[in-house]
């Protein structure tokens, strides 16, 4: 509390001079003015619907597997339902995660390819998924990310990590060719060749400034 002897007025503020006579205000040492504000607290984000969504999908997986198992025949359609449920959970987790959209795009493509392969294995016919869908989807993803880097050179590093990961995955069809597990070869040849060319381009084509930026980002 502050006090003006001239005007005999008390001020419950931190003013130093009287508002009427402009005289100096005295401070009572035993009566300091204090201000108390309600502590701001961030309202916790509710994840109820997210947990409910995951719970319902898990129940769907368990019920499907149980019904298919009780039927006495080898598991078929329940595996497809289970793969779809798991894919839906993963897809939601990717979308709600606050990552850069290029990273989300790459993760969604990888998850989609995996679920297609799992469905083909459930159908006991994986040749179309492994021999056609997998290599062409990877090659398409590499192409999209490459175009994004070319058209957004100032933000090339935002796409570089995703392109690096998907390019390495694109070399897998070459391994499948060597293992002789494919019936249709040309999609895998295209994917492997395109991935190898992209990888070599990522190594030799970047400018000196780009390499320095790469070293700085990765602390090399």
* Percentage of the chain modeled with pLDDT above 70: 81
The pLDDT value given to residue 171: 92
Per-residue pLDDT reduced to its tens digit, 116-157: 988 888 888 888 888 899 999 999 999 988 888 788 766 666
- CA gap 53, 63 in Å, rounded: 15
- CA gap 136, 151 in Å, rounded: 23
The pLDDT value given to residue 145: 86
Neighbours of 187 (CB within 10 A): 20
Indicate whether 68 pLDDT > 80.
yes
Indicate whether 200 pLDDT > 60.
yes
Kindly report the backbone phi and psi dihedral angles of residue 98, in degrees, each rounded to the nearest multiple of 5, phi listed first. -75, 65
User: Nearest to residue 13, comparing CAs of 3, 22, 5?
Assistant: 3
What lies within 8 Å, CB to CB, of 36 at 6+ separation is none
This prediction has a pTM of: 0.67
Indicate whether 216 pLDDT > 70.
no
CA 167 to chain centre: 18
């Amino acid at each position: 509390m502050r006090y003006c002897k001239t005007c005999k007025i008390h001020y419950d503020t931190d003013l130093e001079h009287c508002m009427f006579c402009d005289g100096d205000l005295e401070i009572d040492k035993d009566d300091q003015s204090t201000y108390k504000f309600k502590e701001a607290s961030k309202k916790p984000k509710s994840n109820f619907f997210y947990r409910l969504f995951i719970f319902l999908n898990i129940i769907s997986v368990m019920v499907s597997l149980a019904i298919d198992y009780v039927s006495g025949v080898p598991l078929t359609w329940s595996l497809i339902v289970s793969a779809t449920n798991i894919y839906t959970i993963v897809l939601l987790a990717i979308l709600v995660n606050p990552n850069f959209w290029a990273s989300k795009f790459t993760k969604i493509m990888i998850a989609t390819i995996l679920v297609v392969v799992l469905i083909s294995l459930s159908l006991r016919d994986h040749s179309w998924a492994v021999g056609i869908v997998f290599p062409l989807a990877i090659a398409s993803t590499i192409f999209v990310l490459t175009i994004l880097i070319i058209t957004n050179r100032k933000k090339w590093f935002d796409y570089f990590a995703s392109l690096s990961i998907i390019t390495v995955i694109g070399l897998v069809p070459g391994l499948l060719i060597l293992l002789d597990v494919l019936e249709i070869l040309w999609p895998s040849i295209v994917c492997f060749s395109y991935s190898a060319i992209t990888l070599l381009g990522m190594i030799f084509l970047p400018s000196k400034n780009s390499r320095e930026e790469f070293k700085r980002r990765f602390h090399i």
